[in-house]
Amino acid sequence: MKIAVLPGDGIGTEIVAEAVRVLEVLDLKFEMESALVGGAAYEAHGHPLPESTLKLAKESDAVLFGAVGDWKYDKLDRPLRPEQAILGLRKNLGLFANFRPAICYEQLVGASSLKPELIAGLDILIIRELTGDIYFGQPRGRRTAVDGHFPGAEEAFDTMRYSRPEVERIARVAFEAARKRSKRVTSVDKANVLETFQFWKDIVTEVGKEYPDVELDHMYVDNAAMQLVKAPKKFDVVVTGNMFGDILSDEAAMLTGSIGMLPSASLNASNQGLYEPSHGSAPDIAGKGVANPLATILSAAMMLRFSLNQPEAADRIESAVKHVLASGLRTGDIWSEGTKRVGTREMGDAVVAAITKKTITG
């Protein structure tokens, strides 16, 4: 098994280093190879996703990704900006299923903007379709309107579309994931207004018949956005399209109040995956050794579970993270009165120590 390690920019290098240490201490049999991506790759090779990095990603079983981007690249032509590397990897690896768990750790209930009773024990999984929908649909562009409210005026347009196989495969991913959890799927659509999402709803319902043990319900996206803040624990697995998933997964993630804690996975049909924290490269704290590495460490756990078939090792990492939080260690983003503030490296040390069952200090 081979892992491509792509730390990227900003805090990416600091947090990925800790995840790599955690993987190493598990003493599993895999090879790890690093490459540049994002702004770092642009500086060295003139492109955010050089051929050599893409080749490494393609021939690996999984990609462990840090984060890319820095405001200093905002003036570059769009194809050369660091963030294009993520889109290039998604496209080239066919990563169509994005998993974004939103878990509220008992010790971090206070970090949420919601009341503790609404959030305690929260464990939901948003599955977002990642390669279709209005984000990729053609045609798109600008033109002069020939009809509508203002014929003759300048207008812009995009195309929302989904094919049957695209909906079927993401629906199956959601039902399979639900089987391993509490066997409930909520499919989020806008079938009352959009033809594309009536089609989506019909197909998810059809696929659902293959999974009689999984309970399926449907919800309009506006109601889902409301229910996520009103009663988030009523959800288990949520499956939705690219655009709705983009918005709802960020909303769900922020329910937990701690961006530095949230992992994510993007998988293709053969379970090859890209694993990354849900946050960005945080240029404001880069190089200071204060970033929270836990989202990346938890992404490594997802990688072991989904792409490398090592569920027990994944459990060990997740238990170690819970243990470290219970011991009171906190990076700045999740610190509160009565806990001990630590830096990136110390947090990584503590997870490594918990895995190897050494005493945790602090």
Q: Is residue 246 annotated as a catalytic residue, yes or no?
A: yes
**Binders of ligand NAD among 8-47, rule CB under 6 A?**
11, 15
| Strand, helix or coil for residue 310 | coil
Q: For residue 33, give the DSSP letter.
A: E
Q: Whole-number minimum distance, CB 113 to ligand NAD, in Å?
A: 15
Q: What is the residue-wise DSSP string for 189-244?
A: E-TTT-HHHHHHHHHHHHHHTT-TTSEEEEEEHHHHHHHHHH-GGG-SEEEE-HHH
Total Cβ atoms within 10 A of residue 194: 16
Question: Binder to ligand NAD among 260, 263, 273, 348 (CB under 6 A)?
Answer: 260
Instruction: From the candidates 183, 202, 246, 322, give the one annotated as an active-site residue.
Output: 246
Instruction: From the candidates 2, 55, 222, 315, give the one annotated as an active-site residue.
Output: 222
Q: How far is CA 206 from the centre of its chain?
A: 27
Q: Is residue 61 annotated as a catalytic residue, yes or no?
A: no
* Of 52-60, 125-133, 273-281, 322-330: span binding ligand NAD (CB under 6 A): 273-281
Question: Binder to ligand NAD among 41, 86, 174, 243 (CB under 6 A)?
Answer: 86
Measured CA to CA, the distance from residue 208 to residue 195 in angstroms comes to: 20
Asked if residue 175 lies in contact with residue 208, where contact means CB atoms within 8 angstroms, the answer is: yes
> Per rule CB under 6 A, is residue 302 in the interface with ligand NAD?
no
Question: Binder to ligand NAD among 70, 129, 166, 189 (CB under 6 A)?
Answer: 70
Cα dihedral sign for 87, 93, 94, 95? negative
> Per rule CB under 6 A, is residue 101 in the interface with ligand NAD?
no
Q: Is residue 133 annotated as a catalytic residue, yes or no?
A: no
Q: Is residue 183 annotated as a catalytic residue, yes or no?
A: no
Question: Binder to ligand NAD among 147, 154, 284, 337 (CB under 6 A)?
Answer: 284
Question: Which positions touch ligand NAD (CB under 6 A)?
Answer: 11, 15, 67-70, 83, 86, 259-260, 276, 279-285, 291-292, 295, 331, 333
Active-site residues, by number, are: 135, 190, 222, 246, 250
